[in-house]
Amino acid sequence: MKPWQHSDSNGACKKAPNDPRKSYFILSAGITPCISHQDKQYQKEDLQMITGNLQRLDMAMLPPPLLQLLSREECSHQNLLNKADGKYDIIDNTVFYLISSPVTADESSVKSEFHEHYLDIQVLLAGQEIIATSATISEPHEYKETKPDLIFVENDDITTRVMLEAGDFVIFYPGEVHRPTCQIDAPDRIKKAVFKVSKSWLANH
């Protein structure tokens, strides 16, 4: 088993406390994230997902519409943190976000999911969270929805684990499988925002 690592301000990776999981991709504002896997270190650019921190949006290389969205005053870390749990519309059922305060759980007890019509921007507002990912679904329309635009995946093979701290976000496009709200060492209550962005809206902006 490999220890998870993080980089200091000079970009050098350091060992962190041992953990039973194989690897983590750790995000943090102002540092260079790394992933440790089988004695090889990879920089953020080697991973096929968009990640960043609300305090450093300029470093995330976001598509312009998503950069404009997350740059809104309403979407600042502090403003989101102050909001009560619930749904908040930005553009009626096209762009909106959900505030929730779930309790993290062991990865084995959490289901993986993906979406067909909306992008997810998963933003951690308070606490720590692991989001595990697995292979992208190339034909999402062939799967049956559990709820509108929510499809669960059974027995998927985890390929990457992303550790988020307050202010970090990960973006998942339609078909990208993710398993959110996984615990670090023990269950813990967190607060997060999940932005839902219609893929048709994004394509037209």
Q: pLDDT: is 10 or 149 the higher one?
A: 149
CA distance 38 to 65: 37
pLDDT tens-digit map of 55-96: 999 999 999 999 999 999 999 999 999 999 999 999 988 999
pTM: 0.78
Task: Kindly state the average pLDDT of the residues 119-139.
Answer: 94
What is each CA distance from 195 to 21, 38, 46, 123, 179, in whole angstroms?
Answer: 28, 34, 25, 8, 16
Task: Kindly state the average pLDDT of the residues 138-157.
Answer: 86
pLDDT grade for 110, boundaries at 50, 70 and 90: very high
DSSP 27-53: --TTS--EEEETTEEEEGGGSSSEEEE
pLDDT grade for 175, boundaries at 50, 70 and 90: very high
Q: Are 86 and 193 in contact (CB under 8 A)?
A: no
What is each CA distance from 57 to 38, 44, 85, in whole angstroms?
Answer: 31, 15, 24
Q: Is 201 exposed, middle or buried (0-12, 13-18, 19+ CB in 10 A)?
A: middle
Q: With a cut of 70, say whether residue 118 has pLDDT above it.
A: yes
Question: For tokens 């619930």, what's the residue?
Answer: 86
pLDDT score, position 24: 52
Phi, psi of 27 (to 5 degrees): -100, 145
pLDDT grade for 146, boundaries at 50, 70 and 90: confident
pLDDT score, position 25: 54
**Of 2, 23, 6, 25, which is closest to residue 14 (Cα–Cα)?**
6
pLDDT grade for 22, boundaries at 50, 70 and 90: very low
Question: For tokens 């307050």, what's the residue?
Answer: 166
